[in-house]
Every structure is written in C-alpha cells, then in structure tokens.
C-alpha cells in the first residue's frame, strides 16, 4: 500500500543485551537477555521457541557498528525513529551505555525519544517479587535536577523527536511518579533556561487507570499494546478479570506486592487471542478514554507477544497469526493513523526478543515482518 501520509512509525528499542555489574550480581556473571532467549524451551507442539536471530546475531548494542547496522535496516524498511528505554532509579543509571553511545555518535542518523522505564526491578521472572533495584520516585528537587541535567543533552540533540517544538519524554508507568506536576513544572522551567520551549510529557497506558487524575500533568497518552487492549474494560471476553484487576490496583502497594508474588508462583501458561486484541485496538483507535483531560493520543502496534523466555511455564502467550492477518491488522491501524493526522505511530518493538516482540529478522520468519511494515508505510 502506497501513501503520502506523514505519520511516522517509531519502534521501541530494548537495550538489555549487554552485561552490567548489577545483572552480574543478580543473575550471574555475563548475564544479558540473550541468555534467556537462548535457553527458552517450547511448551507445546510447534511452539516457536527459542527465537533465533538471523545469522545467529546475538549482538551487543554498545557497539557503534551494531547500532549503525540496526538503524540502516530500520530506515530501509520504513521505521522513522526509535524510542529507547531509559533506566533511572533515584539517581542511579542502569543500561545506559547503548543510549550514551548513540548520543555520542551523531552520524547515527535516527530520530529518537526516550521512555523512562520507571518501575522497580524484581525477581518476578523467577516466581517471586523480591526487589532487586528499588524505585522510590523521591520527591526531591535536587534529584529532579540531577535527572534533568543527565537528560538535557538528549533533549537538545538535533535527532530528538518533538511535539510543539518540545522534545518528547515518555513515562512507562506514569501513575507511580510522586508529585509529577511539580517535577514537570521544574523540568519545563529548566528546559526554557536552556533554550528549549519545554518538555512534551507522554503517559503510557498499559492498564486502565484506577485514578487518572495525574493525567492533568501530561500532554499525551501512548496506548501500550497488546497489554492495554487485552486488560482493558473494553475487552468483553475478560470482564471478570478486569473487575478483579481494577479492585487490585486500588489496594495498598504492599498488598499488591504479596498478591503478585502469590499469582506468579502458582499460575500456568495463559493464552490470549491476538485477533480479539486487534479488534479492540482498531475499534477504539485514537479514542481518549479520559476525555476530561485533552490529551494527544498515540497508538501502538504489535505482531507477536510470548514471554516464555522470561517466565517459562508461567508465560503469557498471544496466539500466532498468519502474515496476511498481521498485514491486515497493521494496515488497518496505519490507515486510522492517516485519517487521524497522527504524527507518530509506535511499534512494540524493534528488539524485545525475550518477549517475542521484535521486528528484527529471525530464522523462522526472516524479513516478513519488516516487509509488512515497508509495504504499508512507504
């Protein structure tokens, strides 16, 4: 399908494919997500596990040549930018090397924005909720300034994606940020003092919000798929699950932690209908679920999701679909993006291999997913 639409496709970029001291301590020396990907076991006949990159390319994203190769491939198939995950824990940076390499090498010509992956890190993969790296979101102006100063070179970079002239900053779990309005006001002031018109704050919606009042501090909302549609009250096939989930998110955090630990210890494989989720995405595309807040809505797409590599027999698996189904789903959403004059459409993901959410070529599908993208957006 050919189109002159200006909607740009932005793919999520996951950096945990290089070793860091923290993972050495928590999971064993030299651990990266590639270890999980390689060790994944099929759970049933014809289950596509493990996922194997084409040419067995278990790359290190700290390598500038690797970043250059990824950018060249992505742009050739119609990807207009990356959204890099950014990890900041009350003054502590983790997994920052690929992003810093990208910033230091302006010849890596790829528009980008950052998504602050802001929850605490736990041992959830292993069936318990032990906290490894705690995220407190301390309401400390000095820490806010430290975080802003670290991000300022990214915000001022000529490759930064912008809305209303402001660099975009996405927050993965926005409802847990303490005093977000006050923090954002400080960041906007400091941005203006550094020659920027401000920061464009985007709240990620992965679930229905129990109390959406924090959205008054944001300019936009990004629906994170497939989770948003699958867990939403709009999913009539899971109305009972939704009611329990809604009540769960109103409980004290300590209770939530205990219940999550119990659930992940005893649950088995859970299957979800990909066609059903796509139907929900398309039916409600570009609708603001919280109209009391005048938000720009960003949609996202996905082809596959299967976190067997992380959770084993406790995995969540979205049912496989054919290439033709994927093409039809994606084309329909892209056409809605065109009709809505959406500046950006996001894709989950470029390289989230341990959740089988990737566009990079593998040994089974080859370049099929990238070809679907190219034939739709170019």
Each residue's pLDDT tens digit, 327-355: 999 999 999 999 999 999 999 999 999 99
3 inside domain = no
Can you give the residue range of the structural domain that contains 174? 8-377
182 inside domain = yes
Is pLDDT of 3 > 50?
no
Please give the share of the chain, as a percent, with pLDDT higher than 90: 86
**Helices 64-76 & 97-104, crossing angle to 10 degrees?**
80
Q: Could you check whether the bond before residue 226 is cis, i.e. omega within 30 degrees of 0? A: yes
Neighbours of 375 (CB within 10 A): 15
Total domains in the fold of the chain:
1
267 inside domain = yes
Please, what sign has the CA dihedral across residues 135, 139, 143, 145? positive
2 inside domain = no
196 inside domain = yes
At 297, phi and psi to the nearest 5? -100, 130
**pLDDT for 193-234, tens place per residue?**
999 999 999 999 999 999 999 999 999 999 999 999 999 888
Average pLDDT, the chain: 92
Is pLDDT of 2 > 50?
no
pLDDT at 240: 46
pLDDT at 327: 98
107 inside domain = yes
**pLDDT for 254-292, tens place per residue?**
555 555 555 555 568 999 999 999 999 999 999 999 999
265 inside domain = yes
CATH of the domain at 309: 3.20.20.80
1 inside domain = no
pLDDT class of 24 with cuts at 50, 70, 90: very high
**pLDDT for 355-369, tens place per residue?**
999 999 999 999 999
Is pLDDT of 245 > 70?
no
Asked if 35 and 373 count as a contact pair (C-beta separation under 8 A), the reply is no
**Greater model confidence, 125 or 60:** 60
């Amino acid at each position: 399908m050919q189109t002159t639409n200006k909607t740009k496709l932005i793919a999520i970029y996951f950096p945990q494919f290089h070793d860091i001291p923290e993972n050495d301590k928590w999971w064993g020396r030299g651990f990266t997500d590639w270890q999980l990907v390689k060790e994944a076991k099929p759970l049933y006949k014809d289950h596509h596990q493990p996922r194997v990159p084409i040419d067995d390319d278990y790359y290190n994203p700290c390598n500038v040549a690797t970043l250059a190769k990824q950018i060249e491939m992505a742009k050739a198939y119609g990807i207009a930018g990356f959204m890099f995950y950014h990890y900041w824990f009350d003054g502590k940076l983790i997994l920052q090397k690929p992003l810093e390499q990208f910033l230091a090498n302006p010849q890596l010509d790829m528009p980008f924005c950052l998504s602050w992956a802001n929850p605490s890190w736990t041992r959830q993969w292993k069936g318990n909720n032990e906290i490894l790296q705690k995220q407190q979101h301390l309401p400390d102006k000095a820490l806010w300034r430290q975080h802003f100063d670290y991000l300022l070179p990214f915000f001022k970079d000529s490759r930064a994606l912008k809305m209303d002239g402001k660099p975009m900053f996405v927050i993965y779990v926005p409802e847990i940020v303490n005093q977000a309005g006050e923090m954002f006001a400080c960041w906007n002031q400091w941005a203006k003092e550094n020659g920027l018109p401000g920061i464009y704050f985007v709240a990620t919606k992965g679930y229905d919000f129990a109390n959406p009042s924090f959205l008054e501090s944001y300019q936009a909302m990004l629906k994170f798929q497939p989770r948003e549609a699958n867990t939403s009250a709009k999913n009539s096939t899971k109305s009972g699950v939704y009611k329990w989930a809604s009540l769960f998110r109103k409980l004290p955090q300590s209770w939530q932690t205990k219940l999550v630990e119990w659930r992940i210890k005893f649950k088995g494989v859970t299957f979800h209908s990909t066609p059903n989720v796509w139907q929900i995405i398309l039916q409600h595309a570009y609708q603001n679920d919280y109209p009391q807040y005048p938000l720009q809505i960003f949609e996202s797409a996905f082809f596959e999701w299967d976190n067997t590599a992380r959770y084993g027999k406790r995995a969540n698996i979205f049912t496989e679909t054919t290439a033709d189904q994927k093409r039809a789903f994606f084309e329909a959403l892209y056409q809605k993006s065109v009709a809505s004059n959406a500046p950006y459409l996001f894709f989950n993901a470029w390289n989230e291999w341990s959740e089988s959410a990737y566009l990079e070529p593998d040994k089974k599908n080859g370049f099929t997913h990238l070809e679907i993208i190219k034939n739709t957006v170019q």
